[in-house]
Amino acid sequence: MEKKKMTMADVADLAGVGKSTVSRYFNGGYVKQSTKSKIQKVIEEYNYEPNAFARLKAKQSNVIGVIVPTLNSKITSRVITSIDRYLREREYTTLIKNSDHDIDLELQNIQKLINMNVDGILVSSIAITKEHKKIFQEAQIPIVVVAQEYEDGISILDDDYQAGKYMGRYIGETGHKKVAYIGVYETDVAVGIRRKQGVLDGLAEYGITDPVIMKSDYSFIGGQKSTREILEQGEVDAIICATDRLAFGAYRILHKEGLRIPEDVSVVGFGGYEESSLLTPELTTLKFDSYAMGYLGAETILKMIQEKPVSKKQIVEFEFIKGNSVKKENF
Amino acid sequence: MEKKKMTMADVADLAGVGKSTVSRYFNGGYVKQSTKSKIQKVIEEYNYEPNAFARLKAKQSNVIGVIVPTLNSKITSRVITSIDRYLREREYTTLIKNSDHDIDLELQNIQKLINMNVDGILVSSIAITKEHKKIFQEAQIPIVVVAQEYEDGISILDDDYQAGKYMGRYIGETGHKKVAYIGVYETDVAVGIRRKQGVLDGLAEYGITDPVIMKSDYSFIGGQKSTREILEQGEVDAIICATDRLAFGAYRILHKEGLRIPEDVSVVGFGGYEESSLLTPELTTLKFDSYAMGYLGAETILKMIQEKPVSKKQIVEFEFIKGNSVKKENF
DNA sequence: CTGAAAGCGCTTACAG
DNA sequence: CTGAAAGCGCTTACAG
């Protein structure tokens, strides 16, 4: 039972070859077929796998770091599942670090990954600060920012502005007049600024120029609080929520207050969570293609590692999902 | 810009001390206060952090591996968020590996973590096979199984049997007669067998001995399919779903078929997802304490590493969440 | 095509 | 309390 962990040297001995040869075997170097077979045999017998972190001298570690702001989000889950799949199929190891909505922790995590010699980092951040930029610039490895724009480098993003505009227009077009918007803090440029601006511009096209604007965190509770405040400030006929989760909060409060959706108040969100179609009425929302975002992010970082050209900015599509939470011809 | 990455040797030079001293500085060894200050100064100036994976010779790596069956689950997200927090606060690095519902991949992941010299592994598995047991037994490091029972070792689990029984009784007690159960495959012992058995036993206490039983995967679609089949087989007055997500599928089909919940059919789930309270009617469900599960798992693995005694089996509580999806006094 | 040797960035007895 | 030396499990020129 005290079976010591096997090392490459053990494998080499057992196979009767040098350990450099075993190393070459694993890294696609030149090895004669007959030698290969010998090595393969002992590997299979002992179920040996090289220690991925002992490759101190290797130029490439074959590990990609992924930084996420939370593990508790549908969207994040989709993005990392997609990244992880893509990388795994190409023999890369994915290292996921959660920064739990804490910017300092995020910065530390990035630094740690760099020190761990990962080949590249995918950063899904809630905000890109000056510190981020500094670290990114000093890093000697490819970095791809996902779901947020990074002007000084490579990023994959949702089309937040256009999506917002689409939604703003939709609410305008369907005849709403007194509109409220529940957004998030502006440190999150993608959602807090661009998406909001899109919504405002879309609404403005229909003459709605002074919507009530709230700022919330990303939580269910936050959506409830904001909705309550909106109602206290007076009547509205539509609430546009920056995320589906916020919309869930709005539903909860509207139901509690005895207001009907959409007869009394229309509600829309952004996200296209699976659960959104289960609400009564089904939530009208915009779905971003998170799987595509993950795929593109992973593809891009590998291209960068191989020093192939990549686009500076790649924009992912969205899809309008029509539910029954918006009142039509609301004249 | 070609700033080479700093090494411990560089720090030692800059601080005018030996590198063993720097190493001791980081690992809590004996260093005179004045020496400490010198080292600290250069560390701060250069923002140095040791490469966690170069600790080839260290007895402990201070990294804990976490294996999850999917990243796309509310429950899993809660569990790993909780584990990650606990470990991070104690200066451990969490390494998350997703096995994407693929048993072979899961086995490989476990093997990889072992080879990476992690100090311990938390395994949240959909099933514990003989191969798992073999690997676990041969591993020289602590392993804690989470959300699944592991008779040959340490595990943290939901009280699936009692939870199932509670639900079975509840449905019996509220007067239902023709009951269907949508479960999952029996490879998942916790949910597929224990939870189901609990439900059946609970129902039996009320004389319901021949419920219609379905087996599904964990998906929304799976819930829909099973519900459709149930309806084809005849009338039922209650559907018990092994997870909330399956219940979402049931809702969808029942709504489509024009059947009212709970007037025509009662529906209950297990999970207590945030979204479940947003359904109309609110879903009656059982919530397991996933944060506690993660916390206990992390705490237990650290105890094992420190060779402190731990319980073989720790059972996490559940909470009944009463919605409006069950018809009362259905006589 | 292959192996001995040096080295990656750390840690750990050990001697001082 | 501290530093030189050996070693962790690999990879990489290099010579053969």
Q: Which residues of chain A neighbour B52 with C-beta distances below 8 Å?
A: 112, 115-116
Residue B331 to residue B284: CA distance in whole angstroms:
20
SS3 B25: helix
Mean pLDDT taken over chain A: 90
SS3 A87: helix
Q: Where are the alpha helices (DSSP H) in chain B?
A: 8-15, 19-26, 33-46, 74-89, 103-115, 130-138, 160-173, 196-204, 220-232, 244-256, 290-305
Token pair, residue B79, equals 């569990």
Is residue A39 within 8 A of residue A23, CB to CB? The reply is: no
Residue-wise pLDDT for A107-158, tens only, equals 888 888 888 888 999 999 888 899 899 889 888 889 999 998 899 999 999 9
- What order of strands is seen across the sheet that includes strand A179-184? A212-216, A179-184, A238-241, A266-270, A284-288, A318-321
Evaluate if residue A184 carries a pLDDT over 70. yes
| pLDDT band (50, 70, 90) for residue A2 | very low
pTM for the whole structure: 0.85
Q: Count CA atoms closer than 13 A to A156's CA, side-chain side.
A: 25
Beta carbons within 10 angstroms of residue B58's beta carbon = 13
Helices B220-232 and B244-256 sit at what angle, rounded to 10 degrees? 50
| pLDDT band (50, 70, 90) for residue A331 | very low
Cα of B274 to nearest chain A Cα, Å: 8
Residue-wise pLDDT for B113-139, tens only, equals 887 888 999 999 888 899 899 889 888
**Distance in angstroms, CA of A200 to C1' of C3?**
69
Q: Lowest-confidence range among A19-28, A32-41, A295-304, B272-281? A: B272-281
Query: Which nucleotides in chain C lie less than 7 Å from some protein C-beta?
Result: 1-13
Nucleotide nearest to A34 (CA to C1'): C1
Residues B15, B18, B22: CA angle, nearest 5 degrees:
70
CA dihedral sign, ordered A69, A74, A77, A78: negative
Residue-wise pLDDT for B274-319, tens only, equals 778 888 889 999 999 999 999 999 999 999 998 899 999 999 999 9
Residue A208 makes CB contacts below 8 A (sequence gap 6+) with A171, A172, A176, A177, A179
Q: Which residues pair with A91 in a beta bridge?
A: none
Residue-wise pLDDT for A225-268, tens only, equals 999 999 999 999 999 999 999 999 999 999 999 999 999 999 99
Rounded to an integer, the average pLDDT of A41-47 is 86
Is residue A285 within 8 A of residue A270, CB to CB? The reply is: yes
Cα of A4 to nearest chain B Cα, Å: 8
Mean pLDDT taken over chain B: 90
Strand C and A57 CB separated by under 7 Å: yes
Residue A246 to residue A249: CA distance in whole angstroms:
5
CA dihedral sign, ordered A30, A31, A36, A42: negative
